[in-house]
């Protein structure tokens, strides 16, 4: 490793931010033999599972394939729970979900589950286990860097004085990306005036690997199946699910202040009885809900990925999956250029990345926005139209299939099959 006065470390790509997107990009590039450095301002959390944290990601099929290829998936410390069915329905707290519902069954759409529920901490553990195994990957955390870029290349001066030279710098620092600001890239934002409550609960009856997406007057409420709680031993109830609950800010504050029994009652008023008794577990997390989109994803020797480039309403659980699509696109472009001995930070490569990714992310931000507007409306006729619309989509096979494949991150055409 270089010291302050020694020669800089030379890599092809320097990634700033080792969150789920930046760290997966590092693993994916290093698995393609691209020399990389990854820098995070925070210490990477310890490798041992210290308890149940309550947050979980819905990982779409395309994201699972990326994690598998990057050597991360098989290092997950707990078995991810496959999502084999999704019921979408309109509802109101304290009432049964509408019978005019939309039922997706994974095997009708592809030969795989819709996706997997992976605990956030488990993904971190797997990434932390994978990164040190990769030759040619240098991890600096906790560490900050000052970045200078010009047409010839980029230099990162670390807080301890060491230097890194790279052909390409990646901004993966999340929504507040300093590199995006430094490049003068504008961001379009929309504040939903809502809060996302996120956490988990134990329950009495099995979920059968099924998720429930309910459209309630204040916003969508999702129950997502988790693997059984055996390894955590945090509840006497045997099964577990995660929830992502969109609520108006004032109501969310009241919900967060409830004790476990009161919070469990509110969960049950929304979910109904199908899971039996309910007990909240782990921490309750909350996030203000905003959508944002960077006007450009690239600048001289810079590319933005993940939440640094885009953020969306969690209604479809797609935020991280869209970030993983950035990783897939960029690691392919950079991997090919590196293997051919070409410059991995060239304007052509960056243009190709932006062309591939920005329109896709915009489509998803737009789709989640429209869903939020359509489904967050409690006006009677709109509610009826919505219920009829949900039932109609359920009956129109190709449309239903297209919705489901889009959510899985798969091409909408029928031809895709898992590569042998």
Ligand X SMILES: Cc1cc2nc3c(=O)[nH]c(=O)nc-3n(C[C@H](O)[C@H](O)[C@H](O)COP(=O)(O)OP(=O)(O)OC[C@H]3O[C@@H](n4cnc5c(N)ncnc54)[C@H](O)[C@@H]3O)c2cc1C
Binding site for ligand X (CB under 6 A): 16-22, 39-42, 57-58, 144, 172-174, 178, 196, 198, 244, 287, 306-307, 314, 317-321, 323
CB of 96 to ligand X, least distance (A): 25
Report the residue number, 247 or 387, with the smaller CB distance to ligand X.
Answer: 247
Q: How far is the CB of 43 from ligand X (least distance, A)?
A: 9
b/e code 186-214 from CB counts within 10 Å (16+ = b): ebeebebebbbbbbbbbbeeebebbbbbb
Q: Which residue sits closest to ligand X, CB atoms considered?
A: 19
Cβ distance to ligand X smaller for residue 98 or 316: 316
Residue 20's alpha-carbon distances to 9, 120, 159, 182, 284, in angstroms, are 24, 9, 23, 23, 20
Q: Kindly tell me which of 226 and 278 has the beta carbon lying closer to ligand X.
A: 226
285 and 263 Cβ atoms separated by less than 8 Å = no
Q: What angle do CA 256, 262, 265 make, to 5 degrees?
A: 110
Closest CB 88 distance from ligand X, rounded Å = 16
DSSP state letter for 44: P
User: What radius of gyration, in Å, describes the C-alpha atoms of the chain?
Assistant: 22
Query: Within its chain, how far is the Cα of 72 from the centroid?
Result: 15
Residue 175 contacts residue 319 (beta carbons within 8 Å): no
Residue 152 or 191 having the CB closest to ligand X: 191
Could you tell me the smallest distance in angstroms from the CB atom of residue 191 to ligand X?
A: 13
Taking the least distance from each CB to ligand X, the nearer of 43 and 233 is 43
**Which residue, 365 or 387, is less far from ligand X as judged by CB?**
365
Query: Which of 93, 104, 92, 94 lies closest to 387, judged by CA?
Result: 92
Residues 6+ apart with CB under 8 A from 55: 119, 120, 121, 198, 199, 200, 242, 282, 285
Work out how close the CB of 287 gets to ligand X at its nearest, in angstroms, rounded to a whole number.
4
Quote the least distance from Cβ 379 to ligand X, whole Å: 26
């Amino acid at each position: 490793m270089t010291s302050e006065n020694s020669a800089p470390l030379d890599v092809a790509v320097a990634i700033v931010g080792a969150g789920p997107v930046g760290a997966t990009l590092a693993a994916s590039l290093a698995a393609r033999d691209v020399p990389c450095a990854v820098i995070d301002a925070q210490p990477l959390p310890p490798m041992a599972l210290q308890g149940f944290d309550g947050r979980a990601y819905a990982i779409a099929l395309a994201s699972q394939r990326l994690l598998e290829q990057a050597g991360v998936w098989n290092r997950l410390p707990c078995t991810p729970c496959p999502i084999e069915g999704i019921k979408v329905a309109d509802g109101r707290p304290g009432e049964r979900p509408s019978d005019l519902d939309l039922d997706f069954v994974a095997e009708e759409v592809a030969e795989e589950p819709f996706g997997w529920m992976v605990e956030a901490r488990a993904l971190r553990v797997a990434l932390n286990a994978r990164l040190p195994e990769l030759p040619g990957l240098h991890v600096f955390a906790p560490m900050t860097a000052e970045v200078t870029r010009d047409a010839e290349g980029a230099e990162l001066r670390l807080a301890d004085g060491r230097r890194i030279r790279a052909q390409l710098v990646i901004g993966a620092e999340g929504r507040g990306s300093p590199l995006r600001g430094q490049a003068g890239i504008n961001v379009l934002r929309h504040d939903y005036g809502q809060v996302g409550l996120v956490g988990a609960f134990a329950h009495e009856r099995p979920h059968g690997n099924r998720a429930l997406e309910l459209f309630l007057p204040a916003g969508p409420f999702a129950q997502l199946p988790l693997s059984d709680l055996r390894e955590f031993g945090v509840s006497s109830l045997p099964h577990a699910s995660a929830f992502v609950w969109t609520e108006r800010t004032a109501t969310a504050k009241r919900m967060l202040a409830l004790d476990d029994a009161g919070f469990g009652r509110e969960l049950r008023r929304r979910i109904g009885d199908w899971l039996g008794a309910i007990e909240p577990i782990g921490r309750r997390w909350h996030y203000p809900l905003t959508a944002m989109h960077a006007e450009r994803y690239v600048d001289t020797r810079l590319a933005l990925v993940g939440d640094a480039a885009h953020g969306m309403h969690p209604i479809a659980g797609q935020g991280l999956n869209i970030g993983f699509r950035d990783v897939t696109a960029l690691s392919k472009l950079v991997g090919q250029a590196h293997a051919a001995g070409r410059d991995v930070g060239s304007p052509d490569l960056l243009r190709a990345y932006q062309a591939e990714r920005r329109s896709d992310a915009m489509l998803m931000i737009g789709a989640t926005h429209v869903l939020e507007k359509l489904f967050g409306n409690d006006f009677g006729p709109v509610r009826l139209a919505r219920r009829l619309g949900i039932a109609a989509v359920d009956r129109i096979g190709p449309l239903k299939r297209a919705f489901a494949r889009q959510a899985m991150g798969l091409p909408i055409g029928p031809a895709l099959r898992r590569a042998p």
